[in-house]
Amino acid sequence: GESVGLHLPTLSVQEGDNSIINCAYSNSASDYFIWYKQESGKGPQFIIDIRSNMDKRQGQRVTVLLNKTVKHLSLQIAATQPGDSAVYFCAEQKTSYDKVIFGPGTSLSVIP
């Protein structure tokens, strides 16, 4: 069945370093992959998405990499800041009109 999961449940990073959050997915039919950030006590917030016909997409301080061969997705955050401390969810979607399936999340802690 469909599933999206994460390799590491928690990640601690020194301020200023780069962070890499990984995600494994099992549904090769998914066409879209999305990253969300959830700060404590708030609802998730969209960060970036990537379509399956791409292997890399860059945003502001973030880069998402997609490796369809091994069904792996990663979110790279450059120069991690204290405000980046949050839980990060990867999610997948078969088509842009289908429901979104969320993974369990990775908690990122930034050490000042």
Beta bridge partners of 111: 14
Do residues 19 and 76 touch, judged by C-beta distance below 8 A? yes
CA distances from residue 82 to 29, 55, 79, 94 in whole angstroms, order as listed: 36, 28, 10, 34
Build a one-symbol-per-residue string for 31-70: x at contacts with another protein by CB under 8 A, - elsewhere: -x-x------xxxxxx--x---------------------
- Judged by beta carbon, residue 48 or residue 78, the one nearer another protein is 48
Provide, rounded to whole angstroms, the least separation between the CB of residue 66 and another protein: 14
Q: Is 83 in the site for another protein (CB under 8 A)?
A: no
